[in-house]
Amino acid sequence: MSKFTVFSYTVLLGMVLTYAQNRQLQYDFYEAPQALLLNPGSRTPYKWHAGLPLLSNTALQAATSGVTVNDIFANDGLDFTTKVRDRVVNGLSQNDEFGASGQVELLYGGFRNANRPSDYYSFGIYGEGYVAQYWPKDLAILAFEGNANNIGRRFSLNHITTQGELVNVFHLGMNRKLNDKWTVGARAKLYSSVFEFKSRGNDGYFVTTLGENNILRNSVIADVSLQTSGIEGIFDSADGEPADLARLLVNRSLLGGNLGVGFDIGFTHKLGKSTFLTASLLDIGFISHSKDIENYTLRGAATNEGIEIILPEDLGDLTTEIWQELIDDLEQQLPFETNQDAYISLRPVKLYSSLRYNFGETKDKSKDCDCGTEVLERDTTFDYVNAVGAQFFMINRPRGPQTALTAFYQRRLGKVLAVKATYTADKFTLTNLGLGINLQAGPVNFYILADNLLGYQNIPDSNYASLQFGFNILSWNRN
Amino acid sequence: MKKQPFLYIASVLLLALLSACADEQNFDQIDDLSVEPLVATSIFYFESDENTINAMPAGQFYDQNFTFEAFNEPFVADNLLDGKITYQLENTTSKELEIMVEFLDADGNVLDSETFILQPEQTFPLEVEVNYGVGGQSLDILRNTTDIRVTGNNMTDNTSISTMPEPKVILRTSAEFRLKLQ
């Protein structure tokens, strides 16, 4: 199995086992306890909960900006090279990206403190990560067209930006209802990295200009690096028995790899009788990478006008190996090097916030005071029939923060069914309609959340798709 | 009845989800992708002033061969589609000069050569383009070239002095070649 194949499979695995970026349907949809993972200060109407191992939450997401699969691969009879040139090479910008993420929850549970019922504890393990590849526009044009017809054009090396990881997260959270206005929460996290690669903050350019002596001059100024951890070990293990690779991945997932720490915080604040303000900050932390490091750098400056023979200076001074000397000089001026230097990666911090207004008649108005710190009954906790509001999401990405704005409408249909519909605008799409359904059959909770439903009319033509589902066993406070 | 608008919306969204479909895709098109960049670079630069030419006996004043393996690098040789070498020559000396560029293989055999006769005190540069590939010279010349020999011959005398400022002979060369990356 080649290294590239192993790496591709690993990245694909990472895409399956990684963390959905914006989960606007799940945020504050606290019928399912996974809402606590997006806001540790969410409301908690449960006595205890237990996710079905490996099935309590599976989330997948894929996104492209600027181009879709259909734009390229539609069987439309158009010349493929022309489509790629017009829609990808010349059509995309360096800020367009291809990304995928997801999450598989391995274990998730929670319980209310019997002695202090205002406190709810939750804990679990999930795998998360993502792959994000920004479009290297200038390098793509250079590869597609070459430099001959681009004299004087600077091809920026800053367009090289890629990042991906697979990490297992152990977490323990506490949620406390302080009073009838405030619910706050925090979650501590321990990260166990399986692998990571990132290349960001690069600088420099390649340019071809008219030469000073000769016809053309090629110049490179480069400050480019790629940091990796865990990749080489995976390659090496893949060359051996399959069990070796599996053992390595399991070991790294269970605190045997590079480790990090972090935390989440969040709150729910009641404004007036039916209005709620919520916010959370997730993944404030870092991973220290010191094991299985392999970093690559290309740093320096070089200019080349070919071999120069100037008489009389070079009379009798030339060797026949002048070509090799030229190559050696270039490699010295622009060395491609590797190192094993440890590094620290900050987690991609995420911010959620929402403003929500509940309306519609509840069954028992007398229970709607929501006063005191005692645990709420299930019927009163879900004290809404309808809810509308707006959510804001922001995530720190390699090229700066990405944001999304969501409008939502939520409705409970009896005690069994709750539905949330969203409209979200972000860099990937402005037509993202999503729908989440939460079913409660006795203690069994099932939810399914799907995004960008209009994209399902022609999935390959969609810029964004996500799906999330899971099963939990819930015990309500009155049980 | 109050529930109807929401149920209607939910039904439509559910219907959209359940009626997911996809236009026909043809991923085999990737085989039709043609990526053929045109790459340009200088090859070598030769310059000699008139004093140096006069310091040599009349006739050959320079003869040097050197390794040049840009075109027979496996990646280039395997993907070379066509190419063009451009020669620019200037002669502001008082002599008629002959500049010869020879392409040699690993055994020293001459695969191709270009000879340029430069008139004394040429007031404009001479530019010559030699094409390789379809309609031009064989690409194998480039693929098998491992050495280049540059020879300069003084066809006049070794005493005359040009009236032009800083008299010299200059040979500039560059190459443009098309590679098939995909």
Query: What does each C-alpha distance from B74 to A162, A335, B142, B165 come to in angstroms?
Result: 29, 22, 12, 45
Question: Is B117 or B23 the better-scoring residue by pLDDT?
Answer: B117
CB contact under 8 A, B3 and A413: yes
Nearest to A324 among B10, B34, B67 (CB): B67
A286-323 pLDDT tens trace? 999 999 999 999 999 999 999 998 988 887 766 667 88
**Residue A317: its pLDDT value, please?**
65
* Average pLDDT rounded to a whole number, residues A121-142: 92
CB contact under 8 A, A144 and B35: yes
Q: Helix A242-251 vs helix A231-238: angle between axes, to the nearest 10 degrees? A: 150
Q: Mean pLDDT across chain A, nearest whole number?
A: 87
Q: For A103-112, A182-191, A446-455, B88-97, which range has the lowest pLDDT when averaged over its residues?
A: A446-455
Q: For A174-188, A288-302, A343-357, A454-468, which range has the lowest pLDDT when averaged over its residues?
A: A454-468
Nearest to B10 among A70, A306, A435 (CB): A435
CA A146 to chain centre: 33
Is A413 a residue whose pLDDT tops 90? Answer: no
Q: Mean pLDDT across chain B, nearest whole number?
A: 87
Is A125 a residue whose pLDDT tops 60? Answer: yes
* Contact status of A77 with chain B (Cβ, < 8 Å): no
Q: For A319-328, A408-417, B17-26, which range has the lowest pLDDT when averaged over its residues?
A: B17-26
Is A267 a residue whose pLDDT tops 50? Answer: yes
Q: Where are the alpha helices (DSSP H) in A199-352?
A: 231-238, 242-251, 322-333
Is B11 a residue whose pLDDT tops 70? Answer: no
Query: What is the sign, positive or negative, of the torsion defined by CA atoms of A128, A134, A140, A142?
Result: negative
> Are the C-beta atoms of B56 and B151 separated by less than 8 Å?
no
Instruction: Tell me the nearest-neighbour CA distance from A211 into chain B, angstroms.
Output: 8
A367-380 pLDDT tens trace? 444 444 444 444 44
Taking a contact as any Cβ pair under 8 Å apart, which residues of chain A between 284 and 303 contact chain B? Answer: none
Nearest to B65 among A70, A73, A320 (CB): A320
* Contact status of A82 with chain B (Cβ, < 8 Å): no
**Residue A229: its pLDDT value, please?**
96
Question: Is A360 or A18 the better-scoring residue by pLDDT?
Answer: A360
CA A413 to chain centre: 33
DSSP A20-81: -S--TTTTT-TTSTTHHHH-TTS---EEEEEEPTTTS-EEEEEEESS--HHHHHB-SSS-HH
Structure tokens belonging to residue A157: 């090396």
Query: What does each C-alpha distance from A18 to A125, A168, A262, A361, A392 come to in angstroms?
Result: 13, 9, 17, 40, 22
Confidence of residue A3 (pLDDT cuts 50, 70, 90): very low
A154-169 pLDDT tens trace? 999 999 999 999 999 9
A186-245 pLDDT tens trace? 999 999 999 999 999 999 999 999 999 999 999 999 999 999 999 998 888 888 787 888
**Residue A374: its pLDDT value, please?**
44
The span from the CA of A347 to the CA of A328, in Å, is: 40
**Residue A319: its pLDDT value, please?**
67
Taking a contact as any Cβ pair under 8 Å apart, which residues of chain A between 213 and 242 contact chain B? Answer: 213-218
Q: For A386-390, B16-20, B123-127, B129-133, which range has the lowest pLDDT when averaged over its residues?
A: B16-20
CB contact under 8 A, A147 and B40: yes
B44-82 pLDDT tens trace? 999 999 999 998 888 898 888 888 888 888 888 899 999
DSSP A397-429: ETTEEEEEEEEEEEEEETTTEEEEEEEEE-SS-
**Residue B9: its pLDDT value, please?**
58
**Residue A463: its pLDDT value, please?**
82
Confidence of residue A18 (pLDDT cuts 50, 70, 90): very low
CB contact under 8 A, A456 and B21: yes
CB contact under 8 A, B20 and A456: yes
DSSP A73-103: HB-SSS-HHHHIIIIIITT--TT-EEEEEEE
Is A7 a residue whose pLDDT tops 60? Answer: no
- Domains of chain B from N-terminus onward: 34-179 (2.60.120)
Is A12 a residue whose pLDDT tops 60? Answer: no
Nearest to B45 among A151, A306, A409 (CB): A306
DSSP symbol at A287? E
Question: Is B132 or A62 the better-scoring residue by pLDDT?
Answer: B132
The span from the CA of A309 to the CA of A327, in Å, is: 16
**Residue B19: its pLDDT value, please?**
67
* Average pLDDT rounded to a whole number, residues B102-120: 93
The span from the CA of A134 to the CA of A399, in Å, is: 9
The span from the CA of A474 to the CA of A462, in Å, is: 35
Confidence of residue B149 (pLDDT cuts 50, 70, 90): very high
Is B151 a residue whose pLDDT tops 70? Answer: yes
CA-nearest residue to B181 within chain A is A143
Q: How many domains does chain A have?
A: 1
The span from the CA of A173 to the CA of A39, in Å, is: 10
The span from the CA of A135 to the CA of A347, in Å, is: 22
* Average pLDDT rounded to a whole number, residues A340-362: 91
User: What CATH number is given to the structural domain containing A61?
Assistant: 2.40.160
Confidence of residue A8 (pLDDT cuts 50, 70, 90): very low
**Residue A2: its pLDDT value, please?**
46
Is A10 a residue whose pLDDT tops 80? Answer: no
Residue B86 with chain A: CB contacts under 8 Å: 215
Cα-atom radius of gyration of chain B, to the nearest Å?
30
A65-81 pLDDT tens trace? 888 888 899 888 899 99
CB contact under 8 A, B25 and A75: yes
Is A392 strand, coil or helix?
A: strand
CB contact under 8 A, A457 and B20: yes
* Contact status of A310 with chain B (Cβ, < 8 Å): yes
Instruction: Tell me the nearest-neighbour CA distance from A30 into chain B, angstroms.
Output: 19
CA-nearest residue to A74 within chain B is B25
Find the domain containing A156 and state its range.
Answer: 3-476
Residue A46's φ and ψ, nearest 5 degrees, are: -105, 150
**Residue A15: its pLDDT value, please?**
37
CB contact under 8 A, B173 and A450: no
Residues present in chain A in total: 479
**Residue A407: its pLDDT value, please?**
97
Instruction: Tell me the nearest-neighbour CA distance from A51 into chain B, angstroms.
Output: 26
Is A105 a residue whose pLDDT tops 50? Answer: yes
